[in-house]
Structure 1
Amino acid sequence: MNSVYDVQQLLKKFGTIVYIGERMLDLEIMESELKELYFHHFISIEELQLGLAILRNEMKKEEKKREG
Protein backbone atom coordinates (compact mmCIF):
# COMPACT_ATOMS: atom_id res chain seq x y z
CA MET A 1 0.00 0.00 0.00
CA ASN A 2 1.26 3.40 -0.96
CA SER A 3 -1.77 5.69 -0.99
CA VAL A 4 -5.24 6.30 0.37
CA TYR A 5 -6.55 4.72 -2.83
CA ASP A 6 -4.73 1.51 -1.92
CA VAL A 7 -6.31 1.56 1.55
CA GLN A 8 -9.71 2.04 -0.09
CA GLN A 9 -9.05 -0.95 -2.35
CA LEU A 10 -8.12 -3.10 0.65
CA LEU A 11 -11.34 -2.13 2.42
CA LYS A 12 -13.29 -2.79 -0.77
CA LYS A 13 -12.04 -6.39 -0.79
CA PHE A 14 -14.00 -6.84 2.44
CA GLY A 15 -17.12 -5.09 1.16
CA THR A 16 -16.48 -1.70 2.74
CA ILE A 17 -16.83 1.45 0.70
CA VAL A 18 -16.44 4.71 2.59
CA TYR A 19 -17.72 7.95 1.15
CA ILE A 20 -19.25 10.58 3.39
CA GLY A 21 -18.22 13.51 1.24
CA GLU A 22 -15.94 15.17 3.74
CA ARG A 23 -12.35 14.05 3.42
CA MET A 24 -11.47 14.06 7.14
CA LEU A 25 -14.53 12.03 8.06
CA ASP A 26 -13.80 9.56 5.28
CA LEU A 27 -10.26 9.10 6.58
CA GLU A 28 -11.42 8.65 10.17
CA ILE A 29 -13.98 6.03 9.17
CA MET A 30 -11.41 4.19 7.06
CA GLU A 31 -9.10 4.16 10.09
CA SER A 32 -11.86 2.67 12.21
CA GLU A 33 -12.66 0.05 9.57
CA LEU A 34 -9.00 -0.98 9.33
CA LYS A 35 -8.87 -1.48 13.08
CA GLU A 36 -12.02 -3.62 12.95
CA LEU A 37 -10.57 -5.79 10.19
CA TYR A 38 -7.45 -6.34 12.26
CA PHE A 39 -9.45 -7.02 15.42
CA HIS A 40 -11.35 -9.77 13.58
CA HIS A 41 -8.09 -11.17 12.12
CA PHE A 42 -8.89 -10.36 8.48
CA ILE A 43 -5.69 -8.35 7.96
CA SER A 44 -2.19 -8.62 9.38
CA ILE A 45 -0.57 -6.24 11.84
CA GLU A 46 1.69 -5.05 9.01
CA GLU A 47 -1.30 -4.15 6.84
CA LEU A 48 -2.90 -2.35 9.78
CA GLN A 49 0.23 -0.35 10.59
CA LEU A 50 0.87 0.61 7.00
CA GLY A 51 -2.74 1.57 6.39
CA LEU A 52 -2.88 3.66 9.56
CA ALA A 53 0.37 5.43 8.65
CA ILE A 54 -1.00 6.31 5.21
CA LEU A 55 -4.30 7.57 6.61
CA ARG A 56 -2.71 9.60 9.39
CA ASN A 57 -0.28 11.19 6.95
CA GLU A 58 -3.20 12.18 4.76
CA MET A 59 -5.04 13.57 7.80
CA LYS A 60 -2.03 15.78 8.57
CA LYS A 61 -2.08 17.08 4.99
CA GLU A 62 -5.79 17.87 5.29
CA GLU A 63 -5.25 19.71 8.58
CA LYS A 64 -2.51 21.82 6.98
CA LYS A 65 -4.86 22.70 4.11
CA ARG A 66 -7.49 23.87 6.57
CA GLU A 67 -4.98 25.96 8.51
CA GLY A 68 -3.42 27.51 5.44
Structure 2
Amino acid sequence: MNSLYDVQQVLKRFGIYVYVGSRLGDIELMAIELKNLYEARMIDEKTYQTSWLILKREHRIEEARDKSGEM
Protein backbone atom coordinates (compact mmCIF):
# COMPACT_ATOMS: atom_id res chain seq x y z
CA MET A 1 0.00 0.00 0.00
CA ASN A 2 1.53 3.32 -1.05
CA SER A 3 -1.09 5.64 -2.53
CA LEU A 4 -4.29 7.44 -1.67
CA TYR A 5 -6.11 5.04 -3.96
CA ASP A 6 -4.93 2.14 -1.78
CA VAL A 7 -6.33 3.83 1.33
CA GLN A 8 -9.63 4.34 -0.51
CA GLN A 9 -9.69 0.61 -1.24
CA VAL A 10 -9.24 -0.21 2.45
CA LEU A 11 -12.20 2.01 3.32
CA LYS A 12 -14.22 0.59 0.42
CA ARG A 13 -13.89 -2.91 1.93
CA PHE A 14 -16.10 -1.62 4.76
CA GLY A 15 -18.57 0.20 2.53
CA ILE A 16 -17.05 3.61 3.22
CA TYR A 17 -16.99 5.91 0.20
CA VAL A 18 -15.65 9.41 0.77
CA TYR A 19 -16.39 12.35 -1.50
CA VAL A 20 -16.69 15.79 0.06
CA GLY A 21 -15.90 17.82 -3.04
CA SER A 22 -12.42 18.96 -2.11
CA ARG A 23 -9.41 16.68 -2.05
CA LEU A 24 -8.24 18.11 1.26
CA GLY A 25 -11.65 17.50 2.81
CA ASP A 26 -11.68 13.96 1.45
CA ILE A 27 -8.29 13.24 3.02
CA GLU A 28 -9.37 14.62 6.39
CA LEU A 29 -12.59 12.59 6.40
CA MET A 30 -10.69 9.45 5.35
CA ALA A 31 -8.38 9.93 8.35
CA ILE A 32 -11.39 10.11 10.67
CA GLU A 33 -12.97 7.01 9.16
CA LEU A 34 -9.68 5.14 9.30
CA LYS A 35 -9.26 5.98 12.99
CA ASN A 36 -12.79 4.77 13.70
CA LEU A 37 -12.08 1.46 11.96
CA TYR A 38 -8.89 1.00 13.95
CA GLU A 39 -10.52 1.83 17.27
CA ALA A 40 -13.29 -0.66 16.47
CA ARG A 41 -10.54 -3.24 15.73
CA MET A 42 -11.74 -3.70 12.18
CA ILE A 43 -8.24 -3.13 10.76
CA ASP A 44 -4.86 -4.08 12.16
CA GLU A 45 -2.23 -1.68 13.46
CA LYS A 46 0.06 -2.02 10.43
CA THR A 47 -2.75 -1.17 8.00
CA TYR A 48 -3.75 1.78 10.17
CA GLN A 49 -0.23 3.17 10.47
CA THR A 50 0.58 2.77 6.78
CA SER A 51 -2.71 4.33 5.73
CA TRP A 52 -2.31 7.18 8.21
CA LEU A 53 1.17 7.99 6.89
CA ILE A 54 -0.13 8.03 3.31
CA LEU A 55 -2.96 10.38 4.30
CA LYS A 56 -0.55 12.64 6.17
CA ARG A 57 1.74 12.83 3.11
CA GLU A 58 -1.17 13.58 0.77
CA HIS A 59 -2.48 16.23 3.18
CA ARG A 60 0.91 17.99 3.14
CA ILE A 61 1.00 17.87 -0.66
CA GLU A 62 -2.49 19.37 -0.92
CA GLU A 63 -1.73 22.13 1.57
CA ALA A 64 1.41 23.04 -0.37
CA ARG A 65 -0.56 23.02 -3.60
CA ASP A 66 -3.21 25.33 -2.07
CA LYS A 67 -0.56 27.75 -0.80
CA SER A 68 1.10 27.95 -4.19
CA GLY A 69 -2.24 28.71 -5.86
CA GLU A 70 -2.42 25.59 -8.01
CA MET A 71 -5.65 23.77 -8.62
TM-score tier after normalising by the smaller chain length: over 0.9
Task: Measure the CA separation in 2 of the matches of 1:63 and 1:38.
Answer: 26
Unaligned runs of 5+ in 2: none
The alignment's TM-score, normalised by the length of structure 2, stands at: 0.93
Correspondence 1:52 to 2:52 = yes
Task: Measure the CA separation in 1 of the matches of 2:17 and 2:6.
Answer: 12
The alignment's TM-score, normalised by the length of structure 1, stands at: 0.97
Task: Measure the CA separation in 2 of the matches of 1:57 and 1:18.
Answer: 18
Aligned pairs, number: 68
The one-letter code sitting in structure 2 at the alignment partner of 1:53 is L
Aligned-CA RMSD value:
0.5
Moved segments of 4+, more than 3 Å = none
Unaligned runs of 5+ in 1: none
